[in-house]
Amino acid sequence: MFRRSFLSRLAVLAGTSMLRASPGKTILKPASDASDLGEVAGAADELLQALQSESRKQIQFTFEDLERKDWSNVPNAVYPRHGLAFGKMPDAEKIAAHRLLAAITSPQGYLKATAIMGLENILHEIQPPQERDKFSPDFYFLSVFGDPRVDDRWAIRVNGHHLALYLTVIGGKASGTPAFFGTEPATVQHGHLAGLRVLGAETMKGFALRNALTAEQAKLAVLAEELPPDIFTGPGRDQALKQPAGLAASQLRGSQRQLLESLIDEYLGNMQPDVARAYRKRIQADGVDSLRFVWMGSPSPGRPIYYRVHGPSLLIEYDNSLAIGMKVKFNDPNHIHTILRVPGNDFGGDWLRNHHLERHSR
């Protein structure tokens, strides 16, 4: 009963989010830098204290370990993960792990992340018998890099099928990217959860912006009718998109601009609130006008699509073009990949460079 009620509330959250801001309201308003990360450090400490020694060996790495930047969005059977699996934790440890997951995300982001993990149960049910053991909420892994209690450089990573979340802290400043959210199925087709859309708002807001464009604006935004095979900047492809393309935000007017900001805010709204506020401030400082919007595919809801929002301090990609289990494009898409990146500052890259410069200059 709790599971059904929980996911029903999530369906309302994901599928019926507002598509428009109030007239005259700017969503990307300036805010202060990330300030209070004590809750995250406290949650990490609580988890580390709760772990048995063998579990702690699996979860903890040095900050310099190359493992820190390693992630994937495919099932663990295809790309084995390192870290401590949720399925290997007894209840007390799992409760502490969920407190940490909630601390590195927003309430909205936590609901989406846990629902994505829950979709593994549906994938398990619909697979051929020989494939079912590859899909389970147990195959999500938590890793801690450095010691949040004493170090000035540390990071948290949660990774598994269709979910990769980071919080990196360097000298009191935090990065929350890369952040990958995916869903398979995008819309649950059968059973008591039929109709559930975990990333429904990301889909609806994308279509709302595309269909608000004039014919002339669409000529600039739509780069192709044919879709790419996936998002461009997936695992190990951080630098795949360097030059923003498409329709400039400076060419959007009135409600079009509000729809763009609402779309961006859907992605930022998944992040730890202090980090999201700092990113909004950075986008505002660089100028929302510097962002560009790209669309590929049909403007008709229910068809396969790709979109992108790209600028100096923001990169969002969305692709929904594969049916479950299909290797080719399909006209009834039900498989979403999304990613949020901050060019130059994924994994705290900017903060780490500045940190090294400050230490070297002393």
Question: DSSP characters for 316-331?
Answer: EEEEE-B-TT-SSB-S
Cβ pair 343, 349 in contact under 8 A: no
**How many structural domains is the chain composed of?**
1
pLDDT of residue 352: 58
Q: What is the pLDDT of residues 152-192, one digit of tens each?
A: 999 999 999 999 999 999 988 999 999 999 999 999 998 88
- Note down the domain range covering 87: 2-361
Distance CA 87, CA 78 (A): 17
205-228 average pLDDT score: 96
Cβ pair 119, 113 in contact under 8 A: no
Residues 6+ apart with CB under 8 A from 328: none
Which tokens belong to 288? Answer: 């929302």
Position 225 confidence tier, pLDDT thresholds 50, 70, 90 = confident
Cβ pair 355, 154 in contact under 8 A: no
Q: What is the pLDDT of residues 254-308, one digit of tens each?
A: 999 999 999 999 999 999 999 999 999 999 999 999 999 999 999 999 899 999 9
The model carries a pTM of 0.89
Name the residue among 153, 148, 137, 133 with its Cα closest to residue 94: 137
Task: Please compute, for residue 217, the number of CA atoms within 13 A of its CA located in the half-sphere on the CB side.
Answer: 17
Position 13 confidence tier, pLDDT thresholds 50, 70, 90 = very low
pLDDT of residue 20: 40
Asked whether the bond before 178 is cis by omega within 30 degrees of 0, the reply is: yes
Distance CA 113, CA 77 (A): 20
Distance CA 353, CA 291 (A): 25
pLDDT of residue 24: 42
Helix axis angle, 2-15 relative to 107-126, nearest 10°?
110
Cβ pair 264, 29 in contact under 8 A: no
Distance of CA 60 to the CA centre of its chain: 23
